[in-house]
């Protein structure tokens, strides 16, 4: 299973060179886990930058994956992860979800670099 974080999904849906690095994980929809907080972050940015129609298309694609809502167990896990690794709330929820489902977290965010189960790609052009 894979979980692609918000910034990487945004790059992918905006069709940037950086986003192409995440295509393998994103295009295997049946193996892609998407936390609801990622849906919020991605659709908000796409709607702001590319408009409602594009945001609606992206939302439909995200809903065709394995969507995971935040429950009490994940929230408690995210709380521990946040304090242990100094992660912001959304990032802790994303990482906790990846760990719970034994998924690889694909990211370009430096603060995940070095954590178990993470595939990190620096934010540099390919």
Q: What is the pTM of this model?
A: 0.94
pLDDT of residue 124: 80
pLDDT surpasses 80 at 41: yes
The contacts found for 48-57 with CB under 8 angstroms, 24 or more apart, are 49/14, 50/14, 54/13
For the chain, give the mean pLDDT. 97
Inform me whether the pLDDT recorded for 95 exceeds 80: yes
DSSP 35-81: EHHHHHHHHHHHHHHH-HHHHHHHHHHHHTSEEE---HHHHHHHHHH
Angstrom distance (rounded) from CA 29 to CA 45: 21
- Going along the chain from its start, the domains and CATH numbers come out as 2-109 (3.40.50.1010)
How do residues 66-88 score in pLDDT, each as one tens digit? Answer: 999 999 999 999 999 999 999 99
96 sits in which H/E element: helix 89-100
pLDDT tops 90 at residue 126: no
């Amino acid at each position: 299973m894979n979980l692609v974080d918000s910034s990487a999904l945004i790059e992918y849906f905006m069709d940037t060179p950086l986003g192409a690095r995440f295509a393998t994980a994103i295009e295997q929809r049946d193996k892609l886990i998407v936390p609801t907080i990622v849906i919020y972050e991605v659709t908000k940015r796409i709607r702001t930058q590319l408009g409602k129609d594009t945001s609606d298309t992206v939302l439909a694609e995200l809903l065709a994956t394995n969507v995971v809502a935040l429950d009490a167990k994940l929230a408690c896990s995210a709380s521990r992860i946040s304090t242990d690794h100094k992660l912001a709330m959304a990032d802790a929820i994303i990482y906790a979800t990846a760990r719970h489902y034994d998924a690889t977290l694909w990211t370009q965010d430096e603060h995940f670099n070095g954590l178990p189960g993470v595939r990190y790609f620096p934010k540099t052009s390919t």
